Amino acid sequence: MGQVPASAAFASAAFASDNAAPAHPSVLDALHRANDGSAPSYGADAVTAQAADAIRTAFDSPGADVLFAFTGTAANTIALASATRPWHEIFCSDVAHVLVDEAGGPVRLSGAQLTRLPSVDGLIAPEELERRVRGRGAVHHSQPRIVSITQSTESGRVWTADAIAEFVDHAHALGLLVHVDGARIANAVAALGISPVEAIADADIVSVGGTKNGLLFGDAILVRRPEHFDGIHWVQKQIGHLASKHRFIAAQFVALFTDGLWLRNAEHANAMARRLSAGLQGLGYQLASPAESNEVFVRIDGDALGHLTRAYLVHQPDHNEPVVRFVTSWATTEAEVDDALAALTR
């Protein structure tokens, strides 16, 4: 997301993104174990079945289908494209990753219209859906089909259990399917202290993040109502995400969902974000939005911004606004947080 200044070419990537974090040692061990001997291709192996079962169990979705992809963008695109036809409409927030950071992938693959809805830090009010479905049935208008929400949001906010349940129920009442972009779903579950299924409510399909939570690569798709996504396996194949050696994606998810590693990773990342946000505010800096998960958006300008970007690779979402994003991960240390605060103090 965004261009890295040339002056920051050798700066620390500690807070650039949770994508910049290393893979967790348990994940690397799982890959090594999966590399022992031959196994059936294209997901017809025991490791992939084990990973799918682990995800179903975690989200209390015994009848769900589970697919795996190399990237979060692919997981979102597969989910949305399999739900829609070219005359359909996809709703999302005005800061949604599917809108801002996927290069039009969902639109190109599905042909559907992608419509942004106003939000507060990615949180959409249920009533925003009301006026958007009024053109349903008229041949002149794209037909509303599915709404995509992000948990936790691109601004580091979380949908509470009550809020997401109300939104999903309202969308269903309007005849819409619901997709949850869960690239950071573990951070939301950990932040809220609720069950995974409460964090997604009655959503129809969920992208389950792995890359941002300790995997080398890979995200999953939890299809909770397969009857609405009947072509999803063909979409996965068409865009090149049905890996021949599928077990190497799946093995990482087995490690992630064993003994609660996925939530321990997220809890640590969230704790480092809390330490960072408290320190920033202690230095007199103003948060641009509440830091509820593992992303911290803070207003920094002038000499402090220049000094920070020379020392750290950080993302500035809007170069017209002095707001910088820090992202913490499972690998972020207290020392790294304190060093960043010290750099700003200097």
Range scoring the smallest mean pLDDT among 74-88, 128-142, 237-251, 300-314:
300-314
What topology is assigned to 6-21+261-345 in CATH?
Aspartate Aminotransferase, domain 1 (3.90.1150)
Instruction: Identify the helix (H) or strand (E) that includes residue 114.
Output: strand 113-117
What topology is assigned to 25-256 in CATH?
Aspartate Aminotransferase; domain 2 (3.40.640)
Say whether 206 sits in a helix, a strand or coil. strand
Residue 201 CA to residue 222 CA, distance in Å, equals 13
pLDDT for 166-213, tens place per residue? Answer: 999 999 999 999 999 999 999 999 999 999 999 999 999 999 999 999
Where in the chain are the domains?
Answer: 6-21+261-345, 25-256
Angle 180-60-295 from CA coordinates, rounded to 5°? 40
**pLDDT tops 80 at residue 4:** no
Q: Considering the entire predicted model, what is its pTM?
A: 0.95
Average pLDDT over the chain reads 95
CA 60 to each of CA 69, 158, 195, 238: distance values in angstroms, whole numbers, following the listed order: 21, 20, 9, 29
Contact between 179 and 151 (Cβ < 8 Å): no
